[in-house]
Amino acid sequence: MANKKIGFYGKLESTANNKVENLYIVVNNKSIVFIVKHLLSNEFVSVEHFEQAADNTAWNPLFAFLQNNSSLIQNYYKNIYFVNNSSRLILSQTDSKDDSLLAANELELIHGPKSDEEIYTSSIGEKHFLIYGVADELSALLTRYFHSGKWQHYASFFLQNVKENEVQLSIFEDNFLLYIVAAGSTKLLNYYPLEVEDQNIYTVLNSCINVGIDTNVFTLSVWGYEEGKHAFIHTLAPYFASKKIIQIEQLPNAYSSYFIF
């Protein structure tokens, strides 16, 4: 079964005729987070974060309790979003958005073949879109219970909030998402595994060098920082002109980097 990492709950105001909240179901390879966001106040009302137990290899226990309540939930929330947060994605410029086979081939070219997944795409502006894979098991479970749910990838929320000159790190349990924006244009979007301190620093700085930016004039923005766990951030920060660190302890609106919606 899953272990609850954290949960906080506020007053829910939605009714069947007055839906003022969205539900986000954020899934990665080790955890699932249920997030309720109030549309009018633009605040997070309730959150539950579960992590898979070490001996559990299937997602079914995480979704079992949804089966009996799925109809009620669908009547309650204005929108339900399934947010995939896996590293198996690419940012594409090719004209394959409406061609699932071409999109799958492009994803496999970068990440290798994978037979047990559904391929999804998300438009980013007029020229770009994300291609990503969702495990068949997850896709089947969620769409079975929530027919009106919409798939998105977590990375799409970064790309909808373009900054001028910023290097963003979004830290998760075992990896981080690196997003580099220069003069308002995306230069890099990629996931990297969390490793030892020196390797994490090298990964970020080498990525900046490879895309040709001078970190001395960029802001380092970090989401999901946890004191005592992500010490490499303090060594990395002096390479940048300024820093912005959102810690997990800053509840509730910045519990972790999941809160970018």
Give residue 254's pLDDT.
Answer: 44
Q: Which helix (H) or strand (E) holds 119?
A: strand 117-124
Cβ contacts of 37 within 8 Å, gap of 6 or more: 21, 22, 24, 43, 44, 45, 261
Higher per-residue confidence, 166 vs 225: 166
Provide the residue ranges of all domains of the chain, joining segments of one domain with +: 1-159, 161-247
Beta carbons of 151 and 129 less than 8 angstroms apart: no
Reply yes or no on whether the pLDDT at 132 is more than 80: yes
Cα distance from N-terminal residue to C-terminal residue, the chain: 28
Give residue 76's pLDDT.
Answer: 82
In the DSSP assignment, the letter for residue 217 is G
How far apart CA 69 and CA 77 sit, in angstroms, is 12
Reply yes or no on whether the pLDDT at 121 is more than 70: yes
Give residue 93's pLDDT.
Answer: 75
Identical topology for domains 1-159 and 161-247:
yes
**Domain 1-159: CATH superfamily, name plus number:** Protein of unknown function DUF3822, N-terminal domain (3.30.420.250)
Q: Which fold has domain 161-247?
A: Nucleotidyltransferase; domain 5 (3.30.420)
pLDDT tens-digit map of 48-65:
877 777 666 666 665 665
Reply yes or no on whether the pLDDT at 111 is more than 70: yes
Amino acid identity, position 197: E
Strands 128-135 and 117-124: antiparallel
How far apart CA 173 and CA 41 sit, in angstroms, is 29
For the segment 203-218, the average pLDDT, to the nearest whole number, is: 95
Give residue 241's pLDDT.
Answer: 94
